[in-house]
Amino acid sequence: MRQVALLISGGGSNMVKLAQSMAEPGHPARPCLVLSNNPAAGGLARAAEMGIPTAVVNHRDFPKDREGFEGELQAKLEASGADLICLAGFMRILTAGFTAQWAGRMLNIHPSLLPKYPGLNTHQRAIDAGDAWAGCTVHEVTADLDAGPALGQARVPIEQGDTADTLAARVLVQEHILYPRVLHRFASGNRTPLND
Ligand code: GAR
């Protein structure tokens, strides 16, 4: 059974969907920790309601000390027994040293059709570019931001009159379907990308 740590910074809707999916019979993974850099993250209470252990490592306690912050993250992860990390709306950039420690064992969901629009403001950038499609990508995390091998994508049409918010809401619905599907495959040892 894989032990999954879910890292969040905000509301944690993807974390909830992942945790619910892991509760299904026969799932090869279980959530062992919800960890946030933000003590005010709404997802912490949602995780506690689901009976998942929670922890906070506030990045503001480590000004200009990324390694110190990540050292604390690593300590919490090791204490939890995690052998897989799912970044789920975790809004801190991780160093090459940290990503190397978790190489092949850390997934992220990003709200664009990577390699388009790594970084922030993905939906507005897709609208401004006149794209016909937006979407989301689950990928392995490497040292390069939002650039690790893709494990699955879902596409969402951009509609006339879409704002970043209306588009984000429709993409989020697809994130909630895609991420649990990819995690299930990945935790079962299947690292081939989803192709639909
Ligand atoms: C999601 O849309 C996720 O793709 C995005 O943050 C949101 C978190 O929502 N992640 C990133 O932008 C990572 N760079 P949630 O807290 O409700 O899951």
Pairing of strands 2-8, 29-36: parallel
Which domains are assigned to the chain?
2-110+137-150+175-189 (3.40.50.170)
Residue 146, Ramachandran bin (φ over 0: left; ψ between -120 and 50: alpha; else beta): left
| Max Cα-Cα span within the chain | 49
Cβ-in-10-Å burial (0-12, 13-18, 19+) of 78 comes to: exposed
pLDDT tens per residue, range 145-157: 999 999 999 999 9
Ligand 1 centroid vs 179 CA: distance in angstroms?
A: 11
Select which of 59, 110, 123, 139 is catalytic: 110
Position 99 pLDDT exceeds 90 = yes
pLDDT tens per residue, range 110-121: 999 999 999 999
Residue 12 marked in a binding site: yes
Structure tokens at 179: 């991420």
**17 within 8 A of 176, measured Cβ to Cβ:** yes
pLDDT tens per residue, range 162-176: 999 999 999 999 999
Ligand 1 centroid vs 112 CA: distance in angstroms?
A: 11
Could you give the percent of the chain with pLDDT greater than 90? 99
Torsion of CA 120, 118, 189, 32, to 10 degrees: -20
Atom 5, ligand 1: residue with shortest CA distance: 89
Whether 110 is a known active-site residue: answer: yes
Atom of ligand 1 nearest to the CA of 15: 18
Q: How many degrees, rounded to 5, is the angle at CA 31 between CA 30 and CA 32?
A: 110
Atom of ligand 1 nearest to the CA of 87: 13
Q: Return the best residue to mutate from 6, 92, 175, 182 for the ligand 1 pocket (most ligand atoms within 8 A of CB).
A: 175
Ligand 1 centroid vs 134 CA: distance in angstroms?
A: 14
Residue 22 marked in a binding site: no
